Structure 1
Amino acid sequence: MAKVLAVLSSGYSNEEHNYVTGWWAEELFEPLAELEKAGHSVGLASIDGGKPVVDPLSLDSAYDPEGKYKKLYDSGIADKTTPVVDVKASDYDAIMIVGGHGAMFDLAHDENLHAVINIVHETGGIVSAVCHGPAPLVFTKTKDGKPLLQGLKVTGYPNDMEPEEVDGLLPFSLEDEMAKVAQYDKGEGQDEHIVWGSDRLLTGRDPGSSQAFGRELAKKLSELEKHQLDKHLE
C-alpha cells in the first residue's frame, strides 16, 4: 500500500468582485476513489490546515449534475487537513496537488509546499498535479536551483478553457508560466489528457481528466510496489 499526500488550497476570496475559490471537488474525489480502489492510502494537507474552502462552483449542478461530489463533500471527507508546514514529506510515496483556482493563490508560491514537493521528488516519490494543481510545481526549484519542471513535458488548465468571469482576477496564466519552464501540451482535441513528464512526474489537464489521472497514478504506484517486492524476494 502506497501513501499519497493530497494537497488542497485553503481558499481565496475577493470581496470587491464577490469572488470565492478554493479546491475543485472532482479533482480530489475522482483520484481519491481510484487510489483507494487500488489499495493505496491518501492523507490530506492544506496551507492552513483544518477544513479548506471548496470552490462552490464545483458543487453546483452545472459541474456536479448528480450531486455525487456534494454528497462526498458533505460527508466530511475533506474536513480535516494537516497544515503543510507540519507534513513529514518522507512518509509519502507520492504527492498529488489538487486543482481549483485557489491553487494559484495560496499553493503556488508557498515555500513549505515547495520543500515538501522537493523531498518527495528527491526520495524517489511521484510528484503529480491536476488542472490548476501544477501552479506550485512551476515555481518549485530543486536544491541545485533549477526549475523542477525544466524541459519536461507537462499539461495543466489552458488559457482557452478559462471562464470569462475570472478574467483579470487570477494572479497569472498557468499555461503561460508552465510554457516558460517546460514543454506545455494541452492535448488538443482530446476529451481527457494526462502526461508523464518523467517516470516520477504526472500532470492532468482539467476536471474531466481527473479520473484518468487518478487511475494512472494508482497504477504506477502499484507497479512500483510490485517491483520493490520482487526485488526484496530475489
Structure 2
Amino acid sequence: MAKVMAVLSSGYVDEENNYVTGWWAEELFAPVLALEAEGHIVGLASPKGGKPVVDPISLSEEYDPEGKYKKLYDSGVADKTTPIVDVKASDYDAIFIVGGHGAMFDLAHNEELHTLINIVYGQGGIVAAVCHGPAPLVYTKLPNGRGLLEGLDVTGYPNNMEPKEVVGLLPFSLEDELSRIANYKAEANEKEYVVWGSEQILTGRDPQSSPLFGKELAKKLTSIEQKQEEKFFD
C-alpha cells in the first residue's frame, strides 16, 4: 500500500464581498474513496492544520444531490489536518492537491507546500492535483530552476466554467497561468478529463473528473507497487 498526502486549503474569507471559500468536498472525498479502495493510505494536511474550511457550495444539493459528500464531511473525517510545515514528505509516495477556490489563495504561493512537492517529486513520487488544485504547481520550481509543469500537458478548471460573480474576486485565472507555462487542455467535450503530463504528474479538470482522477492515481500507485514487488522477488 502506498502513502498519499492530500493537501487542502485552510480557507479564505472576503468579508467585504461576503465571499467564503476553501476546499471542494467531492475533490477530496472521491479521490480518497478510490485510493482507499485500492488499499492505499491517505493523510490530510493544510497550511494552518486543524479543521480546514470547506466551500459550503460544494455540500449543497446542486453539487452533492445525494448528500454523499456532506455525510462524509459531517462524520468528521476531514476535521483534523497536519500543518504543512510538520509533514515529513519523505514518508509519502504521492501528494495530491485538493481543488476549490481556496487553493488559489493560500496554497498557490505557499513555499512550504512547494518544498513538500519538490521532495515527493524528487524521490520519484507522484504529484497530482484536481480542478483549482494545480494552482500551487504553477509556481513550484524544481531545484534546477525549471518550472514543475513547464512544457507538460495539464488541465484544470477552465475560464468559461468560472462563476461570473466570483471571477473578479480571484487572484488570477488558473487557465491563463497554466497556459503560460504548460500545454493546457480542457477537452470540453469530455464528461470527465484527466491527463498525465509525465509519469509523475497527474491533473484533473473539474469536480466531475474527481472520481476518474482518484481511480487513475490509485491505479498508478498500485502498478508501481506491483512492479517493485516483482523486482524484489526476481
How much has 1:146 moved relative to structure 2? 0.9
Give the distance between the partners of 1:85 and 1:181, measured in 2 at CA: 27
Distance 2:31 2:144 in 1: 32
Show CA shifts across 1:89-148 (max 9, x none).
000000010000000000000000000000000000000000000000000000011110
1:110 counterpart = 2:91: no
**Structure 1 segments of 4+ aligned residues over 4 angstroms from their partners:** none
User: What CA distance in whole angstroms lies between the structure 2 residues aligned with 1:202 and 1:21?
Assistant: 24
RMSD: 0.4
Q: Post-superposition shift, 1:188?
A: 2.4
Q: TM-score normalized by structure 2?
A: 0.99
1:163 equivalenced with 2:163 (yes/no)? yes
Distance apart, 1:66 and its partner CA: 1.0
Count of residue pairs brought into register by the alignment: 234
Residue 100 (1) aligns with residue 124 (2): no
Give a deviation string over 1:146-178, Cα, whole Å, max 9, x none. Answer: 110000000000000001110210000000000
Q: State the percentage of identical aligned residues.
A: 70
Tell me how far 1:187 sits from its aligned partner.
1.1
2:172 aligned counterpart, secondary structure = coil
Aligned-partner Cα distance in 2 for 1:192–1:56: 23
Partner of 2:200: 200
Whole-angstrom distance in 1 between the partners of 2:147 and 2:219: 27
**1:17, 1:167 → 2: CA distance?**
12
Quick one: which amino acid aligns to residue 19 of structure 2? Y
Report the counterpart of residue 74 of structure 2 in structure 1.
Answer: 74
**What is the alpha-carbon distance in structure 1 between the residues aligned to residue 86 and residue 195 of structure 2?**
30
Q: 2:134 maps to what in 1?
A: 134
Looking at structure 2, the residues matched to 13 and 94 of structure 1 have their Cα atoms a distance apart, in angstroms, of: 29
Distance 2:188 2:103 in 1: 24
- Alpha-carbon separation, structure 2, partners of 1:188 and 1:72: 29
TM-score w.r.t. the length of structure 1 is: 0.99
Task: Give yes or no for the alignment of 1:49 onto 2:46.
Answer: no
Partners of 1:78 and 1:183 in 2: how far apart? 33
Deviation at 1:24, TM superposition (A): 0.0
Q: 1:84, 1:187 → 2: CA distance?
A: 33
For structure 1, the residue ranges without an aligned partner over 5 or more in a row are none
Cα separation, 2, equivalents of 1:167 and 1:29: 26
2-structure distance, mates of 1:158, 1:36: 29
1:48-73 CA distance string (max 9 Å, x none): 00000000000011111111111100
Q: 1:144 maps to which residue?
A: 144
Aligned residue number for residue 187 of structure 1 = 187
**What is the match of residue 11 of structure 1?**
11
2-structure distance, mates of 1:223, 1:113 = 26
Please give the secondary structure, in 2, of the residue aligned with 1:198.
Answer: coil
Q: Distance in 1 between matches of 2:7 and 2:116?
A: 10
1:211 maps to which residue? 211
**Could you list the per-position Cα deviations for residues 20-78 of structure 1 after superposition, in whole angstroms to 9, with x for gaps in the alignment?**
00000000000000000000000000000000000000001111111111110000010
Q: For the residues of structure 2 that align with 1:53 and 1:42, how far apart are their CA atoms? A: 19
List runs of 5+ in structure 2 lacking aligned partners.
Answer: none
Cα distance, 1:17 vs structure 2: 0.5
Secondary structure, aligned partner of 2:79: coil
